[in-house]
């Protein structure tokens, strides 16, 4: 029976690569994003006909998230895999940030991931297990200075993932956090950084392989919590 995967936050680049990889492995894949046009086109273009479902969702909206999961259950059934992949940023420091600018990353990276996780983990506990993967960033493990809202939100998401791993691991739910420490290759990435060596960009298709490896580790007793993906020939390091 096909597993149901929700990728919360899909755009060109890694989100698209995750959708294609999961579909190629036999999953039915629900794509959440604010932009309907891109995810509708991607859903129709996944490797298996009918494997994709576009669900227009603002991941800063609790109501839209909950409605989105109901749509997924109606179409595909209970959720087996969740990737909390959405991200919002405010590239300002403490004194330059308004309260609204500080809260926006938290609404997506923190509260949005919280609500998605509640919905998905509820299904997983009922059905005997599953996988939740959080997409993190360098700012989830060390501050860069001058990005207080983004850093606070990414630290919050990492802490939430760690707490969930401890709470639900015994119930068969594997929770993992992926630190992306580098620039992902994709549409426009090289034009935005023309001076960067092409070999230092992260390949989204190879990154998607790492995410799938975490899904496949559900049935083992020892599971990694955190994977660090960075620049270099190998790009992936388990920590």
Task: Please tell me which of 25-39, 79-93, 144-158, 213-227 the model is most confident about, judged by mean pLDDT.
Answer: 25-39
Q: For residue range 12-69, what is the model confidence (pLDDT) as tens digits?
A: 999 999 999 999 999 999 999 999 999 999 999 998 888 999 999 999 999 999 999 9
Residue 151 has pLDDT above 80, yes or no: yes
Name the residue with higher pLDDT: 219 or 41: 41
Is the pLDDT at 238 greater than 60, yes or no? no
Q: For residue 235, what pLDDT is reported?
A: 45
Q: What is the DSSP string of the chain?
A: -PPEEEEES--TTHHHHHHHHHHHTT-EEEEEES-HHHHHHHHHTSSSTT-EEEEE--TT-HHHHHHHHHHHHHHH-S--EEEE---------TTT--HHHHHHHIIIIIIIHHHHHHHHHHHHHHHT-EEEEEEEEGGGTS--SS-HHHHHHHHHHHHHHHHHHHHHGGGTEEEEEEEEESPBP-TTHHHH-TTS-GGGSB-HHHHHHHHHHHHHGGGSSS--SEEEEESSSS-EEE-
pLDDT tens-place string over residues 180-218: 988 887 666 555 555 555 557 899 999 999 999 999 985
Q: Does 4-238 carry CATH code 3.40.50.720?
A: yes
In this prediction the pTM is: 0.91
pLDDT over 90 at 79, yes or no: yes
**Domain boundaries of the chain, sorted by first residue:** 4-238
């Amino acid at each position: 029976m096909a597993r149901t995967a929700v990728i919360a936050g899909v755009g060109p680049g890694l989100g698209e690569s995750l959708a294609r990889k999961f579909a190629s492995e036999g999953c039915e894949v629900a794509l959440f994003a604010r932009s309907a046009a891109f995810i509708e086109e991607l859903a129709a273009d996944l490797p298996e006909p009918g494997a994709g479902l576009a669900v227009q969702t603002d991941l800063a909206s609790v109501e839209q998230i909950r409605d989105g999961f109901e749509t997924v259950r109606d179409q595909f059934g209970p959720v087996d895999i969740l990737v909390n992949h959405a991200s919002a940023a405010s590239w300002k420091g403490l004194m330059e940030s308004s309260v609204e600018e500080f809260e926006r990353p938290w609404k997506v990276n923190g509260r949005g991931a919280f609500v998605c996780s509640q919905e998905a983990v509820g299904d997983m506990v009922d059905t005997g297990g599953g996988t939740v993967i959080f997409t993190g960033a360098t700012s989830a493990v060390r501050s860069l200075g001058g990005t207080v809202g983004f850093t606070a939100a990414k630290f919050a998401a990492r802490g939430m993932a760690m707490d969930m791993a401890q709470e639900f691991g015994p119930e068969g739910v594997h929770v993992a956090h992926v630190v992306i420490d580098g620039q992902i290759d994709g549409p426009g990435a090289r034009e935005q950084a023309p001076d960067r060596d092409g070999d230092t960009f992260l390949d989204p298709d190879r990154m998607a392989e790492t995410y799938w490896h975490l899904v496949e580790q559900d049935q083992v007793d020892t599971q990694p919590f955190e994977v660090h993906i960075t620049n270099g020939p190998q790009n992936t390091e388990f920590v």
